[in-house]
């Protein structure tokens, strides 16, 4: 059969990796796809820049629209990132009846509803496996492999930078900002690390995972995000002593009242497999009613791990070129007219257990006041641990582990406890999930 010509927009880390994988594995890829796949054109801002890939035989341009407007190119791979001008490029490619493969999580999370609607009108595919968890085929696993299940919840370590920082804090007893500087030096974190350490990047990915798991529209604006900048070395050590590890998790859960979408630091039992995912690795734990828990682990970023997912999408698109649009796997797993607008719950309606650390004066009755306030807000305590007094002061660190409770009640209780004259400063609160 006639080879399929593709164009690649962006020859950075992921674009270069994609070129390498397509060229190196060309014969095996053709055997899988049923046709040869040829990179006809590629674009980059600076054509003189040294690259990680061999661009021999590829027509290069600085204008992405040279690729979009080329009538011979059937698949456009958008590998730039961002959600501004890139959105216009993707919509332009769709308008030209071209299929699109992208690794762009912010594009899908913020504009996916519009993009998929336009793609459906034009009868083309927008594939985005590489947008979540790099080389881990989590989109395909949930959308296809688990399609017979009612997905009850999922939880994922879906940002490698944050996981690297928390791993170093635990293993080497280092402070957050010390490890952050190393992460930036190693290239794991950007000069402005906000997207990674404040949970925005993970929020984009969680938006996508929740949509394909629960059959809801993409709704990034309703994801609760909390970063890891307030996690202290002491909290990491205390969690370890209690049999827990702190991970920056993205959690999506179906409840009777609606769906929880939240990204935040979380204590999880150290015996859980996902608690032992360290460094820059990613992992996603999915619970389906039929299959139970399944765990997906691997490289969440990097040139060729991400390219692995991009190329898999290209192969899927090539296989589907001759199929009727109505018979293809839906973009968001569920048929477009079957997506449900299930309410996404505000943070006050979340239900979880908590780790609380406070500094209290070493006086009789202080803990009684704290437990009384918690009881008034229907919060049950699993355990209370009083630690050694802080150096050169009369304050004693106290750790409380609670049972599952409504966040609204916890917020009110914390405000009252912090107002006690015998409690010094703010309470450090970290949510706790057993993932059982």
> 319 and 179 in one domain?
no
> Residue 262 contacts by C-beta under 8 Å, 6 or more apart in sequence?
223, 224, 225, 226, 250, 251, 252, 347, 350
Span 230-258, average pLDDT: 96
In terms of residue numbers, what domain contains 64? 4-135+303-338
Residue 394 has pLDDT above 80, yes or no: no
Instruction: Look at the chain and report how many structural domains it folds into.
Output: 3
> 74 and 167 in one domain?
no
Report the share of the chain in percent with pLDDT over 70. Answer: 99
> 145 and 108 in one domain?
no
213, part of any domain? yes
| Three-class SS state of 138 | helix
Do the beta carbons of residue 404 and residue 255 sit within 8 Å?
A: no
How far apart, in whole angstroms, are the C-alpha atoms of residue 431 and residue 239?
12
Q: Which two tokens stand for residue 219?
A: 């709704």
How far apart, in whole angstroms, are the C-alpha atoms of residue 5 and residue 70?
10
Span 64-74, average pLDDT: 98
Q: What is the predicted pLDDT for the residue at 408?
A: 98
Global pTM reads 0.96
> 281 and 201 in one domain?
yes
How far apart, in whole angstroms, are the C-alpha atoms of residue 282 and residue 131?
13
CATH code (residue 202): 3.30.360.10
> 312 and 235 in one domain?
no
> 73 and 23 in one domain?
yes
223, part of any domain? yes
How do the residues of the chain divide into helix, strand and coil, expressed in percent and rounded to 5? Answer: 40, 25, 35
343, part of any domain? no
Listed in sequence order, the DSSP H helices in 303-356 are: 303-320
> 380 and 394 in one domain?
yes
344, part of any domain? no
In Å, how far from its chain's centre is CA 72? 35
Q: Could you report the per-residue pLDDT of 295-323, keeping only the tens digit for each?
A: 999 999 999 999 999 999 999 999 999 89
**How buried is 121 (Cβ within 10 angstroms: 0-12 exposed, 13-18 middle, 19+ buried)?**
exposed
Span 30-37, average pLDDT: 97
Do the beta carbons of residue 76 and residue 7 sit within 8 Å?
A: yes
Do the beta carbons of residue 79 and residue 53 sit within 8 Å?
A: no
Do the beta carbons of residue 281 and residue 303 sit within 8 Å?
A: no
Q: Which two tokens stand for residue 358?
A: 């406070």
160, part of any domain? yes
> 60 and 184 in one domain?
no
Question: Which of 215-219, 283-287, 386-390, 411-415 shows the lowest per-residue confidence on average (mean pLDDT)?
Answer: 386-390
What is the residue whose two structure tokens read 């299929």? 99
Q: What is the predicted pLDDT for the residue at 122?
A: 97
Which among 318, 338, 358 is the end of a domain? 338
Q: What is the predicted pLDDT for the residue at 136?
A: 98
Do the beta carbons of residue 104 and residue 78 sit within 8 Å?
A: yes
9, part of any domain? yes
**How buried is 156 (Cβ within 10 angstroms: 0-12 exposed, 13-18 middle, 19+ buried)?**
buried
Span 398-416, average pLDDT: 98
Do the beta carbons of residue 157 and residue 299 sit within 8 Å?
A: no
Residue 7 has pLDDT above 80, yes or no: yes
How far apart, in whole angstroms, are the C-alpha atoms of residue 12 and residue 284?
26
Task: Tell me the helices (H) and strands (E) count for the chain, helix number first.
Answer: 14, 17
> 195 and 171 in one domain?
yes
2 catalytically annotated: no
> 146 and 127 in one domain?
no
Q: Give the H/E segment covering residue 410.
A: helix 407-418
Span 168-195, average pLDDT: 95
Q: Which two tokens stand for residue 83?
A: 């959600």
Neighbouring-strand partners of residue 6: 39, 75
168, part of any domain? yes
- Annotated catalytic residue, options 98, 105, 205, 247: 205
> 130 and 147 in one domain?
no
CATH code (residue 9): 3.40.50.720
> 291 and 201 in one domain?
yes
């Amino acid at each position: 059969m006639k080879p399929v010509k593709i164009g690649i927009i962006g020859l950075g880390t992921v674009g270069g990796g994609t070129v390498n994988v397509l060229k190196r594995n060309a014969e095996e890829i053709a055997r899988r796809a049923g046709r040869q796949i040829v990179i006809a054109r590629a674009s980059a801002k600076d054509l003189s820049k040294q690259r990680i890939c061999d661009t021999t035989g590829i027509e290069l341009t600085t204008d992405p629209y040279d690729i979009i407007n080329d009538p011979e190119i059937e698949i456009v791979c958008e590998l730039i990132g961002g959600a501004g001008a890139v959105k216009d490029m993707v919509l332009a490619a769709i308008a030209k009846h071209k299929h699109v493969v992208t690794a762009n999580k912010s594009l899908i999370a913020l504009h996916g509803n519009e993009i998929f609607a336009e793609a459906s009108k034009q009868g083309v595919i927008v594939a985005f496996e590489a947008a979540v968890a790099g080389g881990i085929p989590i989109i395909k696993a949930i959308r296809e492999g688990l399609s017979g299940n009612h997905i009850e919840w999922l939880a994922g370590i879906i940002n490698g930078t944050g996981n690297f920082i928390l791993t170093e804090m635990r293993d080497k007893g280092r402070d957050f900002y010390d490890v952050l500087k190393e992460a930036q030096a190693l290239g794991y974190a950007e000069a402005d690390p906000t997207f990674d350490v404040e949970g925005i990047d993970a929020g984009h990915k969680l938006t996508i995972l929740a949509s394909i798991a629960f059959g809801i529209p993409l709704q990034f604006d309703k994801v609760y995000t909390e970063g890891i900048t307030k996690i202290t070395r002491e909290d990491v050590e205390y969690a370890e002593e209690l049999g827990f590890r702190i991970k920056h998790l993205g959690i999506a859960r179906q409840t009777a009242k609606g769906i929880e979408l939240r990204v935040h630091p979380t204590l999880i039992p150290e015996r859980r497999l996902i608690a032992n995912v360290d460094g820059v690795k990613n992992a996603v734990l999915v619970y389906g009613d039929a299959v139970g828990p399944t765990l997906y682990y691997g490289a969440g970023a990097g040139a060729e791990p991400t390219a692995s997912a991009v190329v898999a999408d290209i192969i899927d698109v090539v296989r589907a070129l001759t199929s009727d649009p109505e018979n293809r796997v839906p973009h968001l797993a569920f048929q477009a007219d079957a997506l449900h607008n299930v309410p996404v719950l505000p943070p006050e309606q979340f239900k979880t257990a908590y780790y609380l650390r406070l500094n209290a004066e070493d006086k009789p009755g202080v803990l009684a006041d704290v437990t009384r306030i918690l009881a008034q807000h229907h919060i049950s305590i699993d355990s209370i641990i009083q630690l050694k007094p802080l150096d050169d002061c009369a304050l004693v660190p106290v750790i409380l582990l609670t049972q599952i409770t409504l966040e609204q009640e916890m917020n009110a209780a914390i405000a009252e406890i912090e107002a006690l004259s015998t409690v010094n400063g703010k309470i450090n609160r970290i949510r706790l999930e057993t993932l059982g």
